[in-house]
Amino acid sequence: MTEFSDTRVNDLCKTFDGAPQGWAPDTMTTVDFIEETRTVSEGELAIKAITPRRVPRFYEDHIRASNYYDKLKLIIEPSVLELDAKGMLDTSGEAENTVVPGLQHKYPQTGLMLVTEQCAAFCRYCFRKRFVGTSQDEVAVDYSRVADYIHHHPEMSNVLMSGGDPFMLKSRVLHEILDHLLPIPHLTSIRMGTKTVTFNPLRLRDEKLKDVFRRIVDAGKSAVIVTHFDHFAEISDEAQTQIAELRHIGVQFLNQGVLLKGVNDDEETLTRTFAELHAIGLRPYYLFQTRPVLGASRFQVPLREGVELVRAAQRNLSGIQKTFRYVMSHVTGKIEIVGFDAGTDRLVMRYHQAKDPGKTGQVFTRPCSANAMWLDDLQWT
């Protein structure tokens, strides 16, 4: 474990936005890591953005009752490996894409609104761990200001509410956000990205939450929920019931997941996950390469291995089941990992969305070693 002097701790914490209010860097605390219990300073936990263990009873009971607890527990149990301080806190360049507090505008058509820092549980590979569960600094609070920016950007056709998890907000607050977004004529779609359907689908029983989506549909806009299932065993009966009810209202469902070493990095699991998502009405959308997030390297699958796994799963799936793209959400854009050309020993990629719109659709290749995990690991030749 890396040792930090008090001075070092204080210096680092001054620059770490995710440090909780009122925290005491010298205070020692006991943490139940998945491997062992350790005493760690609060300063080290803050510097390394190690969120506490938070798991709703529903998810805990569900995964314990499944035959896959040993895999699924990796998603939510803190590990001593998070003390390994390699990685970044903003892997997609979110700070530089923020145009007003809480609103990012990276791709012309899409506004990304961070509406809360809270989540039902803390995923150990979270790419927003720099603020999730700790800081509201990046969260939108002035909805008028956000709406004003969108009003002046007619190229923006859709808003994605994210966080944190929008379903952690009171339904009343979601309605308040809609009060600002629905009158904007060029917004044709409102999307919410959530893992609450996985972690605690009981939340979706709230009729006031369902009313949020009724309002979007009644306003003539597309209402979209992007769920986050990483493994077929996360799908619960309650989730299926709630998805069916929301689909009846007119909500479109997509699913995005992350390729996670030790959790879903085998052909059978990937195949079954995409097939079962399709079967319950969730269109497979993105499979993300695990980002080089601080303390999350244990989840990264090498790109060449990922390509082979995805290709194997795709061979087993029908066209309507394999509607997903295997992507890296990079600072420069959303990069589809298309395949590996064994003849030239190069990874083939394509900008699905690019920060520089001129690059969208551009195909490019890079030499790819067996251990490369991210675009930045590939040589620019």
Residues that bind ligand SF4 (CB under 6 A): 119, 122-123, 126, 128, 132, 164-165, 195
Nearest C-alpha neighbor of 221 from the set 257, 192, 256, 255: 192
**Residue labelled with tokens 């929301």:** 246
> CA Rg, the chain, in Å?
21
| Residue 265 half-sphere exposure toward CB, CA atoms < 13 A | 20
Q: DSSP characters for 161-207?
A: EESS-GGGS-HHHHHHHHHHHTT-TT--EEEEE-SHHHH-GGGGG-H
**Cα-Cα-Cα-Cα dihedral sign, residues 100, 106, 107, 110:** negative
Minimum CB distance to ligand SF4 smaller for 195 or for 221 = 195
Q: In angstroms, what is the minimal distance from the CB of 253 to ligand SF4? A: 16
CB 338 within 8 A of CB 363: yes
CA distance 138 to 132: 10
Minimum CB distance to ligand SF4 smaller for 200 or for 321 = 200
Q: In angstroms, what is the minimal distance from the CB of 195 to ligand SF4? A: 4
Nearest C-alpha neighbor of 111 from the set 90, 123, 131, 97: 97
Q: In angstroms, what is the minimal distance from the CB of 81 to ligand SF4? A: 17
Q: In angstroms, what is the minimal distance from the CB of 342 to ligand SF4? A: 34
Q: In angstroms, what is the minimal distance from the CB of 166 to ligand SF4? A: 10
Minimum CB distance to ligand SF4 smaller for 123 or for 246 = 123
Q: In angstroms, what is the minimal distance from the CB of 205 to ligand SF4? A: 20
CA distance 113 to 165: 11
CA distance 42 to 29: 7
The two tokens of residue 45 are 């936990």
Q: In angstroms, what is the minimal distance from the CB of 228 to ligand SF4? A: 6
Minimum CB distance to ligand SF4 smaller for 34 or for 348 = 34
Minimum CB distance to ligand SF4 smaller for 4 or for 122 = 122
Minimum CB distance to ligand SF4 smaller for 150 or for 296 = 296
Minimum CB distance to ligand SF4 smaller for 50 or for 378 = 50
